[in-house]
Amino acid sequence: MTEPHPLLKVKDVTKSYFEDGKEFKILDLIRFELAEQDFVCVVGPSGSGKSTLLRILVGLEKPTSGEVLFEGQPIRADNPQVAMVFQSFALFPWLTVTQNVELGLEAQNVPLPARQARARKFIDAVGLTGFENAFPRELSGGMKQRVGIARALAIEPLLLCMDEPFSSLDPLTAQNLRDEILQLWSDPQLPPKAVLMVTHSIEEAVYLADRVIVLSSRPGRMVAELVIDLPRPRNRKEPEFYGWVDEIYSLIV
C-alpha cells in the first residue's frame, strides 16, 4: 500500500491577541498533519481556541507565528479545495437552497448549466430533493445544515472543515447527519477525501474520527494526539468505545 497523499501541514501555529499592550495567548504551538483518507477531530473545552484554530487552518485568520500549508502552499481562504461547514449554518437568508449550494461554483465562474447540475447532484446527496427553491428560513435546523453540507460538497473539495456542525441540532438529527457524513467520506465517488472537524463533544469525536487531537484550555495546547482504531460502524455501547471517551475526558480535566 502506498503512503496516503498528505494534504494539510500545520507547523507550530501560535495565535495571540494584544490588548492594552498585554498579550493574550489563544493557541500555543499547534502542529499536526492531515492526509487523504483522514478523519480528524479536534476536541477541547470551551476557551481552548478550537474555533480560532479552524479559522486559521482554512485561512480566514492569520496565525501570529507558524504556518499552515495546503498541498505545500500557504493556505488561502478562497482555496477551492477546502470547504467549510459552520455551526450557525451561515446560509444566505436571501438565496434559495439551490442558490446557496451554487455559491462557491458561482465564485469559480462555473457556467450556469454545469452549476445547476452539480447543485442538483449534491442537494440529492444530502436528501433535500424537493426543497430546491425553498428559502433557509423555511427549513428546520437539520435541513439547514444539510444545505450547509451540500454547499461545501458542491465545490468538490479535497478537505471538508467543520466547526461544531451538529451542536445546534437536536440529538436525533445530529446522529443522522453524523452517519451521512461518514458515508460521504467513505464513498470514493464523492468528495471529500478528508474531514477535519472541531467539536466539544468527546463522544462525537470518538464516534467519527480515526484521529483525535486534544487541546487544553487557555491557551490551547496540544495535550495528545490519539489514533482511534475502533472498527466501523462504531457502537457507543461497547466498553472499548467508553474506554476512549474516558481516556480523553481524563486528559481534558
Partner 1 sequence: MRGRRRALRFVAGILVFAGIVAAIASPQAALKALQLPLFALFSTSRMVAAYLIGLVFAIAYGHTAATNRRAALIMLPILDVLQSIPILAFFPAALLFFVVTFQGSAIGIEFAVVFLIFTSMAWNMAFGVYESLTTIPQDLEAAGSSFGLTGWLRFRLLEFPAAIPKLVYNSILSWTNGWFFLVASEVFQVGSSKFARPGLGAFIADAGRNGDVASIAVGLGVLAAVVLALDFFVWRPLSVWSERFRMDTASGRELAKVPRYEPFRWMPRFPAVRRTIIARAHPATQAYHRASVRLDRAYASHPNVVRDVRVVDLGLFVIVLLLVVTTGLIGLGQLFLRPLPPEAVGLPWAALLSFSRLLLSYGIALGWTIPVAVVLGESERVSRYLTPALEIFASLPATALLPVILGFSLAVVGSTGGAAQLAAILIGLFSMQWYLLFNLVAGVRSIPQDLREAARSFGLRGRPYWRRLLLPAMTPSLLTGSITAWGAGWNALIVSEYIEYAQRPYTVTGLGSLINQAVLVTGDTEVLLLTILTMIVVVLAMNKLLWRPLLKRAAIRYRLEV
Q: Does 90 bind partner 1 (CB under 8 A)?
A: yes
- Radius of gyration of the chain measured on its C-alpha atoms: 18
CB 83 within 8 A of CB 192: yes
Measured from the CB atom, the residue of 24 and 92 that comes closer to partner 1 is 92
- Report in angstroms how near the CB of residue 4 gets to partner 1 at its nearest: 24
**Which cell is 116 given?**
445547476
41-61 residues labelled b (16+ CB within 10 A) or e (exposed): bbbbeeebbbbbbbbbbbbee
- Report in angstroms how near the CB of residue 227 gets to partner 1 at its nearest: 29
Contacting residue, 2, 73, 109, 250, with partner 1 by CB under 8 A = 109
Contacting residue, 14, 80, 178, 221, with partner 1 by CB under 8 A = 80
Stretch 165-204: interaction string toward partner 1, x if CB under 8 A: ---x------------------------------------
Q: Does 95 bind partner 1 (CB under 8 A)?
A: yes
Stretch 121-160: interaction string toward partner 1, x if CB under 8 A: --------------xxx---x--x------x---x-----
Cis peptide before 191 (omega within 30 of 0): no
- Report in angstroms how near the CB of residue 23 gets to partner 1 at its nearest: 22
- Report in angstroms how near the CB of residue 185 gets to partner 1 at its nearest: 19
C-beta atoms surrounding 141 within 10 Å? 14
Binding window for partner 1 (CB under 8 A); candidates: 92-100, 117-125, 195-203, 228-236: 92-100
Three-state DSSP state, 183: helix
Q: Does 92 bind partner 1 (CB under 8 A)?
A: yes
DSSP 169: S
| Interface with partner 1 in residues 12-71 (CB under 8 A) | 55, 58-60
With residue 176 as reference, give the H or E element that holds it. Answer: helix 171-186
Query: Edge-to-edge, what's the strand order for the sheet holding 65-70?
Result: 73-74, 65-70, 6-19, 22-35, 220-227, 211-215, 39-43, 194-199, 159-163, 82-85
- Report how many residues bind partner 1 under the rule CB under 8 A: 34
- Cα 215 to Cα 151: distance, rounded to the nearest angstrom: 29
The beta-strand segments (E) located in the chain are: 6-19, 22-35, 39-43, 65-70, 73-74, 82-85, 159-163, 194-199, 211-215, 220-227
Q: Does 103 bind partner 1 (CB under 8 A)?
A: yes
Q: Does 87 bind partner 1 (CB under 8 A)?
A: yes
Q: Does 94 bind partner 1 (CB under 8 A)?
A: yes
- Report in angstroms how near the CB of residue 3 gets to partner 1 at its nearest: 29
| Binding residues for partner 1 (CB under 8 A) | 55, 58-60, 77-78, 80, 82-84, 86-95, 103-104, 106-109, 135-137, 141, 144, 151, 155, 168
